[in-house]
Structures are given as structure tokens and as C-alpha cells.
Amino acid sequence: MTWLVPLPVIMPLLGAATTLLMFRRPRVQRAISVSVLTATLVVSTFLLVLSADGPLVVAVGGWPVPLGIVLVADQLAALMLVVSAAVTLCVLLYSIGQGGADGDEEHPLSVYHPTYLILTAGVTNAFLSGDLFNLYVGFEILLAASYVLITLGGTENRIRAGTTYVVVSLLSSVIFLAAIGLIYSATGTLNMAQLVGRLDALPDGVRMVLQGMLLLAFGIKAAIFPLSAWLPDSYPTAPAPVTAVFAGLLTKVGVYAIIRTETLLFPGGRVADLLMVAALSTMLVGILGAVAQSDLKRLLSFTLVSHIGYLLFGVGLASRAGIAAAVFYTLHHIVVQTTLFLVAGLIERRGGSTALDRLGGLARTAPVLAILFFLPALNLAGIPPFSGFLGKLGLIRAGADDGAVLPWLLVGGSALTSLLTLYALARVWNLAFWRSPATPDAAPLRSPRLMVTPTAALVVAGVMITLVAGPLYSLTDTVAEDLLARTPYVEAVLP
Amino acid sequence: MRPSIVLLVAVGVLFAAGTTLLLERTLTRVLLGVMLLGNGANLLVLAAAEPGSPPIVGTADQAEMTDPLPQAMILTAIVITLGMTAFLLALAYRSWRLSGHDEVQDDAEDRRVRELAERDEGSDAEDLDTDEAETAEVRT
């Protein structure tokens, strides 16, 4: 069944080509995009089931393994694929609903669908990639698509925000490429399974430089403090669905690359202290930024940065419990953060603005919207029994098990960040939902059912993570075990 | 492997010049910086392969051939850099069409924070004045 592995990359790319050819027929475009992403979701689910027996490996183009490109679907990659496919599908439906309601004026749909599918292909390629250069190509595919999406329509505000985003991303790509060049000179291979033995044989200093460069490149993409300043400046100006999918997926691709390289290529937690200090400052700086914001989308962008700190905390612990919790938290965070940005888009349509001082009384005027915001907000803040609580609990327990000073500091930092997240979101609730109704800036735009339903589906999915938390957590636990053992991956790729 | 020192110095110069240009405010200079950085990275990948005869089967002894893989990777990277350059150029042009210049603007929120800070500075300036007056008194 290994022929399934390349499909999550190939199908969106073919879909992008067909939707581009069909640029005059928006209805056909929509049908193609939706069916392609649905098929991707189905294939990803199959891959998740199949990868339970061991990683599925495909040598693309028939080139023998260390020479050619390999795609590897292990359980971690398959899990990320399933969640990202589900999220991209929901966001696509939401954007179709929005485009339908706005008469397609804000969305030049002929460009939107192909670009969105290419973005998906880049994300899946990065997840499946078994060698570093293909990972770089995956990143470039998704970044190139994201440049187009973030400047969609070419208004002055978006051009300004897009410029920062493009330049920062280009810098991180150059650092990644330079690191690839150095790794190839040092080891003579870029295949991750083959790198395992060869990197271990390198002198400590050289290995540290290579690790540092990769961390720098991925750190910019994952928005880790102090490399995170670009994110809150650039994300909020894009259209709501674009911001939602960026917030959910793009930073997580960076986190995935960090998890993959730190466990497979550079194990042993040599930079654990550095990662944990970065995690602590990301959490605190991010959430303090969120508390100070007066605009909902900017506030959510800052909570996004802040919660990347939790993921990094788990990676920094480098223990089985830590990585298991980090993977669980990543899955939870993709769903919840995307949902909150979609809800912010609905709030903007209802209240005419996302500025908190302009909103008010939405709990009375739009009760469904209030529920849609309330559940993921509690989930993000980590109120029991939601999955946010379970993920944070796992991280805190892993930190306490470690027992050193720095993990204990991070345990305290996690709890504080969680409380401040609750405070920031409660402020949104008080201002936008509970206050007496404000006079909106603009007449409320219609929110068609096609926008509300995918949002509600994601809210339910976020709650569902709690219901399936037991099996899911034991799955992420085996993922962490395999990642730390390294042999299942290496033996699958190089039998 | 013996790396070529000329190639590495060239990489260093390209990276240094590219970084300097990247720190400029105008988008055209940033664009030039990105191009230099991209070419520097490509040269760095090229330096990963030991120089040798062209890697075409039948033309030379296999032991003397250079490693073709970095060249294949550079080709991909060049295409990517080309695409990004074209996009940045379009971005700079659009910015110029919209606002008459291609300088990278501060974020709206950043500008607001700076305005607030400047207002605070006004009150600080008064404190500074009295401080100076006090120090002047001390001096006399």
C-alpha cells in the first residue's frame, strides 16, 4: 500500500493545475478543490492506520534510497497529515462560504483556489519528506503559496504586512539552504536516515553549528521568541480564512521540522537548556503581548506565538513523556487556533470590526457566535476537561518528572501563561460579548451557513479531542517512543 | 576534501553584502540583498562537491568525476530564488504604485506605540529639565 504515500502531495498539485486551467469557472474550481482536499483527508487517514505497522517508505522516481528522494509516512507524519487535511478542508469550505456571500469581490477566486491547493501540497510534502533538501523544497512550495495568499488583492495594508513576512521568510530559507550545503559537505548525504549515523560521527563543534543553523531556520518559521516579531505584524491583515490556515498550520510545520530534526538527527538534548529558555521567553513574551492588545486578531496572533512555547518545552525536555505531550499539544493547537481565527472572521462580519473597543453585546445579538467563541477560548486557555488542559497537564507532568531547575521554572511559566491566556480571552469575552451592545461601524454582513458550519465542525473537533484523548495520547506516546528510539525510522528507510 | 578558498571567500563577501542590503528600508535594496544572499547560499552548496571532471558516464574515470548532486540541488535552488525575486519585484512595484515609494513601512500598531512613547517623552523632557536645573544648581 506504499503507493498511497505520495498521493497527499500529488493530488493537491494536480488539483492546483486543474483549478488554474478552470479559472473562468468558479463553480468547477470549488468542486475540484473540495473533492481534492476530501480525498487527501481520506488518504491521510488510511496512512495513519497503515503506519501503525511501521513507517511506509516510497523512493520517488524509482531511484535507490540514499540517492533519490524518499517520502516517509511514519505515525508522526500521518497524524500531522490527518489533522492538517481536516483543517484545510474546513477552512476551504469557510472561504467558499465567505466568497459566495461577498460576491467574490475580495477574493480573486481564480488565484485563490490553485494557490490554496499548492499551499496544502507544500505542507504535506514537508510532513512526508525523508530528506533535508526535499524538506526545503516543501517549505519553499508552502511559502511561495503563502506569499501570494497574504498579499491577496494587493491592498496597501496587505502589501505592507506581506513585505515583512516575505523578507523574513526569505532570510530563513537562505539560512536553511546554507545549513543544507554545510551538512552535505560534512556528511555527503541529505537523507535523514543516512544522516543519523554520519552526524553522530562528526566532531561536537561542527555538529553544534549545523544544529544551530537548522534551529535558527526552523525557529523563524515556527515564530519562537526572539524570532517571532514578524508574526503579529503580518498575519492579522490577511483575509480571515488565510490567517486561520496560516496560524494553524504554517508555524506547526516549523515545529514539526524541529521535532523531527531534534529527535532523529541531533538526539540527546544537547541544546535542551537553550530550547527551554527560548520556550519560557516565547510563552511569557507572547502572552504579555496578547494581554496588551486591543484588536482581536492581533491578540490571537500573540497567543499563537505564546503557545508555540509549550510545544518547544516538550521538545526541550527530550523525554518520552515530553515529546508525547508536545505532539498531542501540537494537534490540539492546530485545531483550536484555526477555529479561533475563523470565529474572529465571523465576529468581524457581525460587528463590523475586530477592534475590541468597537465591539459589544455580541452574546445577546449573536448567541451562536458566542458559543463558537467560548468553547475554543476555554480550550485554548486549558480549562478542564478540554484537550488544552490535557496537553498542558502532560507537559507539566513531564517537566516535573525531569526534576531539574529549568523544567520546574517552565512548569511555573506554563501555569502562569495558561492563566494569562484565560485573562486575555476573558477580556475579549467581557468587551466583545458581555458589554451592552455597541453601535457597529458597518452594517453586519451576512454570515452564510457555509461559513458557520465548518467553524462549528472545528469547534466540535476541538471538543472531540478530549473524548478520544485516551487513545490519541497513547498514540502520541508510541510516536514519541519511536522518535526517541530512532531505529524504526532508520530501518524502514534503509533496510 | 579540499575546499576551494576562493569560492568560500566569494560566499563570505556575498553573504556580508547581502546582509547589509537586507537591513535597508527600501524594497529594491532588500531585493538586491536577497539575490546576493541566495547566490551566496548556492555557491556554498556548490563548494560541498569536490571539483573534478564533468559527471557524465563514459567521458571520464568515475573516481575523477565531481559529485553531481549539489549541482542538481543548486538548479532547484536557482529556480526558487528566481521565482522569489520576481515576486519581490512585483511587490516593490505594487508598493510604488500604491504609495509612490517602496520603503518598508512600520506596522500600524508599532506606529501607535511609538506615538504613545513620544507623548511620554514630552513629560519626561520636563523632568529632565528640572534635573538639569538641579545639577546646574549643584555645580554653582
Work out the pLDDT band at B71, boundaries 50, 70, 90.
Answer: confident
Instruction: Tell me the chain A residues in contact with residue B76 when contact means C-beta distances shorter than 8 Å.
Output: 133, 137
Work out the pLDDT band at A119, boundaries 50, 70, 90.
Answer: very high
Query: For residues A150-162, b (16+ Cβ closer than 10 Å) or e, as one string?
Result: bbbeeeebbbbbb
A217 vs A26, residue with greater confidence: A217
The residue of B35, B94, B102 whose CB has the most chain A CBs within 10 angstroms, and thus the best one to mutate to test that interface, is B94
Is the predicted pLDDT of residue A489 greater than 70, yes or no?
yes
How many other CB atoms are found less than 10 A from the CB of residue B114?
Answer: 11
The grid cell for A246 is 496560516
The CATH number assigned to the domain holding B65 equals: 1.10.287.3510
Tally the domains of chain B: 1
Query: What distance in Å separates the CA atoms of residue A282 and residue A297, rounded to the nearest whole number?
Result: 19
Residues in B 60-99 with any Cβ partner in A closer than 8 A: 67, 69-70, 73, 76-77, 80, 83-84, 87-88, 91, 94-95, 98-99
Query: What distance in Å separates the CA atoms of residue B29 and residue B16, rounded to the nearest whole number?
Result: 14
- Inter-chain CB proximity B37 and A174 less than 8 Å: yes
- Residue A178, pLDDT score: 93
Interface confidence, given as ipTM, is 0.84
- Inter-chain CB proximity B34 and A163 less than 8 Å: no
Question: Given A137, A163, A174, which is nearest B27 (Cβ)?
Answer: A163
Q: For B24-59, what is each residue's pLDDT tens digit?
A: 888 889 999 999 999 999 999 988 887 788 888 888
A356 vs A378, residue with greater confidence: A378
Cα dihedral: A215, A219, A224, A229 (round 10): 140
Query: What distance in Å separates the CA atoms of residue A64 and residue A372, rounded to the nearest whole number?
Result: 50
For chain A, give me the number of helices (H) and strands (E)?
21, 2
Looking at CA atoms only, how far is residue A92 from chain B in angstroms?
24
Instruction: Tell me the chain A residues in contact with residue B47 when contact means C-beta distances shorter than 8 Å.
Output: 181, 185
- Residue A225, pLDDT score: 86
The residue of A159, A220, A288, A299 whose CB has the most chain B CBs within 10 angstroms, and thus the best one to mutate to test that interface, is A159
Mean pLDDT of A122-138: 93
- Residue A441, pLDDT score: 59
Is the predicted pLDDT of residue B122 greater than 50, yes or no?
no
- Inter-chain CB proximity A177 and B47 less than 8 Å: no
Interface residue B35 vs chain A (CB under 8 A) = no
Mean pLDDT of A308-314: 92
- Inter-chain CB proximity B87 and A174 less than 8 Å: no
Query: What distance in Å separates the CA atoms of residue A70 and residue A106, rounded to the nearest whole number?
Result: 40
Mean pLDDT of B72-99: 89
Work out the pLDDT band at A440, boundaries 50, 70, 90.
Answer: low
Please calculate the CA angle A469-A240-A215 and round it to the nearest 5 degrees: 60
Question: Given B40, B41, B91, which is nearest A166 (Cβ)?
Answer: B91
The residue type at B87: F
Percent of chain A surpassing pLDDT 90: 45
- Residue B132, pLDDT score: 44
**Which structural domain range is residue B90 located in?**
5-138
Per the listing, cell 512595484 goes with: B93
Q: For A10-42, what is each residue's pLDDT tens digit?
A: 999 999 999 988 888 888 888 999 999 999 999
Please calculate the CA angle A74-A75-A81 and round it to the nearest 5 degrees: 90
Work out the pLDDT band at A218, boundaries 50, 70, 90.
Answer: very high
Is the predicted pLDDT of residue A180 greater than 80, yes or no?
yes
Is the predicted pLDDT of residue B125 greater than 60, yes or no?
no
Alpha helices in chain B (DSSP H): 5-22, 27-46, 68-99, 108-139
**Among the listed ranges A169-173, A245-249, A324-328, A366-370, which one has the minimum average pLDDT value?**
A366-370
End-to-end C-alpha distance for chain B, whole angstroms: 73
Is the predicted pLDDT of residue A129 greater than 60, yes or no?
yes
- Inter-chain CB proximity B95 and A180 less than 8 Å: no
Q: Which residues of A touch B (CB under 8 A)?
A: 67, 133, 137, 140, 144, 147-148, 151, 154-157, 159-164, 166-167, 170-171, 173-174, 177-178, 180-182, 184-185, 188, 232-233, 295, 298
Q: For A165-177, what is each residue's pLDDT tens digit?
A: 999 999 999 999 9
- Residue A100, pLDDT score: 66
Distances (CA, A) of A280 to A34, A88, A379, A409, B39: 40, 30, 21, 8, 36
Instruction: Tell me the chain B residues in contact with residue A159 when contact means C-beta distances shorter than 8 Å.
Output: 91, 94-95, 98
Mean pLDDT of A107-119: 82
- Provide the mean pLDDT of chain A: 88
Q: For A47-63, what is each residue's pLDDT tens digit?
A: 999 988 888 888 888 88
- Residue B119, pLDDT score: 77
Closest CA to B24 of A221, A155, A167: A167
Is the predicted pLDDT of residue A220 greater than 80, yes or no?
yes
Interface residue B32 vs chain A (CB under 8 A) = no
Mean pLDDT of A406-432: 90
How many other CB atoms are found less than 10 A from the CB of residue A484?
Answer: 17
Interface residue B107 vs chain A (CB under 8 A) = yes
Mean pLDDT of A182-202: 88
The residue of A174, A187, A230, A237 whose CB has the most chain B CBs within 10 angstroms, and thus the best one to mutate to test that interface, is A174
Interface residue B41 vs chain A (CB under 8 A) = yes
Is the predicted pLDDT of residue A109 greater than 70, yes or no?
no
The grid cell for A413 is 511559566
Query: What distance in Å separates the CA atoms of residue B105 and residue A404, rounded to the nearest whole number?
Result: 45
- Residue A10, pLDDT score: 93
Work out the pLDDT band at B128, boundaries 50, 70, 90.
Answer: very low
- Residue A432, pLDDT score: 84
Mean pLDDT of A359-372: 82
Closest CA to A299 of A331, A352, A252, A341: A341
Percent of chain B surpassing pLDDT 70: 81
Is the predicted pLDDT of residue A357 greater than 70, yes or no?
yes
Instruction: Tell me the chain B residues in contact with residue A133 when contact means C-beta distances shorter than 8 Å.
Output: 73, 76
How many other CB atoms are found less than 10 A from the CB of residue B135?
Answer: 10
Interface residue B17 vs chain A (CB under 8 A) = no
- Residue A151, pLDDT score: 87
Looking at CA atoms only, how far is residue A245 from chain B in angstroms?
22
Phi/psi for A258 (5° steps) reads: -65, -45
A and B: number of Cβ contacts within 8 A:
96
Q: For A463-487, what is each residue's pLDDT tens digit?
A: 888 899 889 999 999 999 988 888 8
Model pTM?
0.90
Residue B27 burial (CB < 10 Å; 0-12/13-18/19+)?
buried
